Amino acid sequence: MLHQETLALLDYLARRVRHGILEIGPYTGAATVVMATALAESGRTVPFISVEMRGSHSTHPQLPCDDILATCARCWTSMGSHHVSTSSKG
């Protein structure tokens, strides 16, 4: 999980973005939820694209993960983000 100050900064920046957001590697999806929620609450209608190549990181020292996409989906659901609307497995 990202540090609270990092998530607060992402919230701040997402509320002020002009052209869109490209997130590469959401891993657990917490930053995705923060930025999507900030965009929605600020009324921004810019593109927001998040790319995750699938896979696992079972040796991560703090947050091991066997299925990154499934973990993202659980995070988005548990955090109540109705702003994260589309995921695509490629």
Q: What is the pLDDT of residues 24-52, one digit of tens each?
A: 877 777 888 899 889 989 998 898 888 87
For residue 67, is pLDDT > 60? yes
- HSE-CB at 81 with a 13 A cutoff on CA atoms is 23
Please tell me the distance from the alpha carbon of residue 7 to that of residue 66, in angstroms, as a whole number.
Answer: 24
Domain segments of the chain: what residues? 4-78
Token digits of residue 44: 């921004």
Q: What 8-state DSSP symbol labels residue 85?
A: -
pTM, 2 dp: 0.73
Helical residues (DSSP H) of 1-90, grouped into ranges: 4-14, 30-42, 68-78
**What is the average pLDDT score of the chain?**
79
* 4-8, 24-28, 45-49, 74-78, range with greatest mean pLDDT: 4-8
Q: Which residues contact 74 (CB under 8 A, 6 or more apart)?
A: none
